[in-house]
Amino acid sequence: MSSIANLDFGRYERRGYPEAVLCDGKSLDQCVHIARTWRAKANEGLNLGTVLFTRITEDKAKAVTNILDGAIWHETARMVAWPGDVPEPSGGKVIVACAGTSDLPVAQEAALTARYLGRSVTELVDVGVAGLDRILAHRETLQSARVIVVVAGMEGALASVVSGLVSCPVVAVPTSVGYGASFGGITALLSMLNSCSPGVSVVNIDNGYGAGHLAAQIAEPQGDTHGTA
């Protein structure tokens, strides 16, 4: 079974961020195989960073945490992290704001990813624009961020509204929350792509992992090797 995967162990060295394993679309056996390979590689003493298993179901999570000692399963975020401890935060502050209760799994996936990649994260929950005062109440907090992840389904208006209030970048995550003409997140996706406020960029529908990863990159501490003019 050695031919089913070709893990990119060098990514942590090359990119500064480790590879993650998208469990969606992989069988239980494949996830187990990958976890074992990872453990073996770590036992060799390679510096691999924290590996994240994303979009993991309960049965896969249990199998993987059985193999990887010290791994933690975050149920709502559908994520297993190994090692499970969050590193000491560095760099700028990340805020994750989500529009509704149903957006929580994606929001938590984003927040956890950013934390495991070394950032400090503040979460704002259920601050959708139907009751505008809920987000306006956090105006100052928002202005203290180095980057804000906005998670919203339905019409996704929160991204534009938040971006208009701050000077930092906004990473917008459309979610599949909604029904009918929300088309599984397409409406929120299109809405965010057409934001009338500059400074908004968009990741795939329900891609909390990607948003958290990007936020961690944006909020990277300046002392790092790259990035000075």
Smallest separation, CB 85 to a second copy (Å): 18
Of 79 and 99, CB closest to a second copy: 99
Amino acid at 202: V
Main-chain dihedrals φ then ψ at residue 130, nearest 5 degrees: -60, -30
Residue in the block written with tokens 């987000």: 135
Residue in the block written with tokens 């088309």: 183
Smallest separation, CB 161 to a second copy (Å): 5
> d(Cα 106, Cα 44) in Å, to the nearest integer?
34
Q: Which two tokens stand for residue 36?
A: 């074992």
The residues that bridge with 73 in the sheet, in sequence order, are 80
Of 70 and 132, CB closest to a second copy: 132
Quick check: helix, strand or coil at residue 199? coil
Of 40 and 70, CB closest to a second copy: 40
The residues that bridge with 97 in the sheet, in sequence order, are 124, 150
Of 3 and 47, CB closest to a second copy: 3
Locate all alpha helices (DSSP H) within 44-90, ordered by sequence. Answer: 58-67
Smallest separation, CB 58 to a second copy (Å): 14
Smallest separation, CB 118 to a second copy (Å): 10
Of 66 and 90, CB closest to a second copy: 90
Burial of 180 (0-12, 13-18, 19+ CB in 10 A): exposed
Smallest separation, CB 45 to a second copy (Å): 21
Locate all alpha helices (DSSP H) within 68-157, ordered by sequence. Answer: 104-116, 133-136, 139-143
